[in-house]
Amino acid sequence: MMPSSPAPALVLFAAMLSSHLAHAQDRFHDPKAVLKEHFWGDLYASGGKTFFCGEPFEKKTVTVTDSYLYAKTWMRDHLDCGTPWQCRSNSTDYQRMASDLHNIVPESTRFELDRGSAKFENLDDSVESNACGYKRAFGLIEPPDRIKGDIARAMLYMHVTYELPLYGDLNQLKSWNREDPPSDEEKERNLRISEIQGNENSFITYPSQAEIVTLP
């Protein structure tokens, strides 16, 4: 009996995975310079809104900072590249990952201190939302519904593109992606980042691709 052909979805996923790995962000290798010149200098030169709390800001100040959805701590742990300084200085993989604008959002310093490296998960109704609309308990954060899909697409992008371990439940991230599809604002940001660093997050362009992501 002849072996059966791979399912179409698996063929599509393999092609997507290969494409992502071949076209991951490779233009920038200095995370600090990217933040100054391209994140704050290009994307948010005229201000914007913080990601979690939706608070408007006109420019970077001590109360507004850059936040990595896929935490830099998780990258360093996976690469085992040492301290933040050692990773920035010696690991080309870390330099590329930490320079990827698709994974960075503007956020209040207050929220960033509260988050730390907490994972994104759904929490039960016994945990109350705070003024910003997110819940936090036991090293976990449940974001507001309006940005759950944005987070899912960023996490899946980092997982697939850089072969990083997935922090969070895959089925939950797929659900968030379905329930909160890309907004016009998210699509516009994706386009602008693609112009700056040379690659898009295709989970934003084609959100249905999330359905065929599998874990090893």
| Location of structure tokens 């990827």 | 100
Categorize the per-residue pLDDT at 27 as very low, low, confident or very high, splitting at 50, 70 and 90: very high
Tokens of 81: 């590249």
- 3-state class (DSSP) for residue 175: helix
At 46-79, the pLDDT tens digits run 999 999 989 999 989 999 999 999 999 999 999 9
Angstrom distances, CA of residue 123 to CA of 25, 137, 140:
33, 8, 8
At 112-130, the pLDDT tens digits run 988 888 999 999 988 988 8
Query: What does the pLDDT read at residue 36?
Result: 96
Provide the whole-model pTM.
Answer: 0.89
